[in-house]
Amino acid sequence: MTILYELGRNLYVNLTNRCPCRCAFCIRQKSKGVGTGDDLWLEHEPNFDEIIRAFEEKELSSYDAVVFCGYGEPLERIDLVVAACKYLKEKDPDCKIRINTNGLSDLIHGFPTAYLLKDLVDAVSISLNAPDAAAYNRLCHPTFGEKAFDAMLRFAQDCKRLLPEAVLSVVDCIPAEELNACRAVAQEVGLALRVRTYAE
């Protein structure tokens, strides 16, 4: 079972395969793994002790960042993310922590969640992927329906206010006019937009 895997100079944390979205471009529909994680489909969701044992086998200082991003939405398990972040910061206060998320944590848990990450997470990357709710629903198929897009943007703005760095991201496989519209959305909410390369 792959809990940790490497991609570039970062160490990635694979906590769950659960996700409230079914994005048309999601890599997990095409491949079992990425980076050194040959198979990111979990036999079971790892508990805190399993995650800590996995971390103890790694030299954290050799990575640019620890990134919570696997074959599911990491904030499905936000309590475990928070506990793991506390462990990492206690072990190495200089450890850089990033979360790659679809930004739907507030809907998943039923309350505003960004404040739980304050003073623990250095950066968060939130998947924008579309310029409006209708396009987002067509592309990402969120289980929460039309309210998902606005909830994602609210979460992003909370992260901007509470965390050192928050960015929106979009995959470069969407039409150019939608990509330009996404830039306008990001500008409107005051966040940078990162364009990710679509992995075939």
Tell me what the mean pLDDT of segment 135-146 comes to.
94
Pairing, β 192-196 against β 65-68: unpaired
For residues 97 and 88, the answer to whether their CB atoms sit within 8 Å is: yes
Read off the tokens for 125: 């990357």
Task: Note the pLDDT tens digit of each residue in 22-35.
Answer: 988 888 777 776 77
Number of separate domains in the chain: 1
**Averaged pLDDT for residues 108-124:** 98
Percent of the chain with pLDDT over 70: 98
Q: Residue 37 pairs with which residues in a beta bridge?
A: 34
CA distance 153 to 123: 16
CATH number of the domain encompassing residue 21? 3.20.20.70
Predicted local confidence at residue 182, as pLDDT:
94
pLDDT tens across 1-53, in order? 999 999 999 999 999 999 999 988 888 777 776 777 777 899 999 999 999 99
Closest CA to 163 of 107, 104, 99: 99
Q: Which of 64 and 36 is assigned the larger pLDDT?
A: 64
* pTM (2 d.p.): 0.94
**Per-residue pLDDT tens digits for 142-178:** 999 999 999 999 999 999 999 999 999 998 878 888 8
Residue by residue, DSSP assigns the chain as --SEEEETTEEEE---S--S---TT-GGGT-S-BTTBS----SS---HHHHHHHHHTS-GGGSSEEEE-SSS-GGGGHHHHHHHHHHHHHH-TT--EEEEE-S-HHHHHTS--GGGGTTT-SEEEEE--SSSHHHHHHHH--TTTTHHHHHHHHHHHHHHHHSSEEEEEEETTS-HHHHHHHHHHHHHHT-EEEEEPPP-
Find the domain containing 174 and state its range: 4-196
Please, which pLDDT band fits residue 194 given cuts at 50, 70 and 90?
Answer: very high
- Helices 48-56 and 78-91 pack at an angle, to 10 degrees, of 30
Average pLDDT over residues 122-140: 95
- Token couple for 175: 């039409």
pLDDT at residue 70 tops 80 = yes
- Higher-confidence residue of 126 and 32: namely 126
**Which range is least confidently modeled, 18-27, 45-54, 69-78, 107-116?**
18-27
